Amino acid sequence: MTAEQPIGIFDSGIGGLTVANAIRKVLPNEKIIYFGDTGHMPYGDKSPDAIRYYSLKIGKFLEEKGCKVIVIACNTASSLGYEDLVQFMGDRIPIFNVIDPVVKHVANKEHYQRVGVIGTKATISSDVYARKINELNPQLKVKSLATPLLAPMIEEGFYENNISHTVIESYLSSPKLKNIDALILACTHYPLIKREIESFFDNQVDILNTASIVADDVKFQLEKLQLINNQEVEYKDEFYVSFKTPSFECSTKIFFGDQIELIQKNIWVK
């Protein structure tokens, strides 16, 4: 493995771009190869077996593209596919998920007493956040709420508008989220609606910027592995999707500038 090899990042769709963008900010010399499984999006209402299968196939694709590490930039795939991916290829390529860095961050905040988690149905039913946080900090109360409409809503470009305000308000008014000190955005799509969530809570609740927590951790892990690319090279990032959608194309432009070439790739059949 060499530092010049790319970082592989994947998600069910555009959500992982929030993580890719945060990684690019802290690691500007890295080449990114991104795969958005837009053909299977949303992952949140798929069976655990289906999510594991997609994750393994995408992991294999990124390994074949020569990535030095893989970042699962999707909470749903991190909840259900991470262990399998580590078992399948973890001895050949380091795999990072988006859950562990956020869990560590939250569990270390001593002034938090009650923390909310919002995510897809699959992530919330896996109960992974409450389990992992309480392993590190058993006193912390973790209240989880599935918010399944949010990811497809964002994927379709509905954020910072009346429709998103109404949907967000309806979910966040849940009694489960009363008196929380912090809210974990346990879906990589949600940084796009962070501002709306902050204003729902009148800026009284810490809305955790999970993408930047994950990016800082990826940098820390690469440093440990001595895999940071220190050469200043103009790389061309690569963006693959399993199904080319206009909203994905539009979002890659917003995050990564104009020169984005989207490549539709069928990785399911050989």
Please list the active-site residues: 74, 187
12: contact with ligand DGL by CB under 6 A? yes
17 closest CA partner among 40, 44, 47, 37:
37
Report in angstroms how near the CB of residue 13 gets to ligand DGL at its nearest. Answer: 6
Question: Is residue 158 a contact residue for ligand DGL (CB under 6 A)?
Answer: no
Site string for ligand DGL, 43-62 (x = CB under 6 A): xx------------------
Which residues, 95 to 154, sit near ligand DGL by CB under 6 A?
119-120, 123, 151
Exactly one of 74, 153, 177, 197 binds ligand DGL (CB under 6 A); that residue is 74
Q: Which of residues 192-221 bind ligand DGL (CB under 6 A)?
A: none
| Cβ 112 to ligand DGL shortest distance, Å | 22
Residue carrying the six token digits 């599935």? 146
Do 159 and 130 contact (CB within 8 A), yes or no? Answer: no
From residue 29, give the alpha-carbon distance in Å to each of 11, 90, 219, 235.
22, 24, 12, 8
Told to check if 185 binds ligand DGL by CB under 6 A, we report no
With contact defined as beta carbons under 8 Å apart, do 83 and 126 qualify?
Answer: no
Owner of token pair 């799509």 = 189
**Count of positions (residues) in the chain:** 270
Question: Between 117 and 227, whose beta carbon lies closer to ligand DGL?
Answer: 117
- The single residue among 189, 192, 240, 242 that binds ligand DGL, judged by CB under 6 A, is 189
Write down the least CB distance from residue 132 to ligand DGL, Å. 15
Three-state DSSP class for residue 154: helix
Contact between 118 and 201 under an 8 Å Cβ cutoff? The reply is no
Candidate ranges 52-60, 64-72, 167-175, 186-194; the one touching ligand DGL (CB under 6 A): 186-194
Q: Considering Cα of 61, then 63, then 67, then 73, what sign does the dihedral take?
A: positive
- Six-digit token string for 144: 């989880």
Query: Six-digit token pair at 164?
Result: 């998103």
Q: Is 164 in the site for ligand DGL (CB under 6 A)?
A: no
Looking from the CA of 159 toward its CB, the CA atoms found within 13 Å total 20
Check binding of 36 to ligand DGL (CB under 6 A): no
Q: Is residue 21 close enough to count as binding ligand DGL by CB under 6 A?
A: no
What residues line the site for ligand DGL (CB under 6 A)?
Answer: 11-13, 15, 41-44, 74-76, 119-120, 123, 151, 187-189
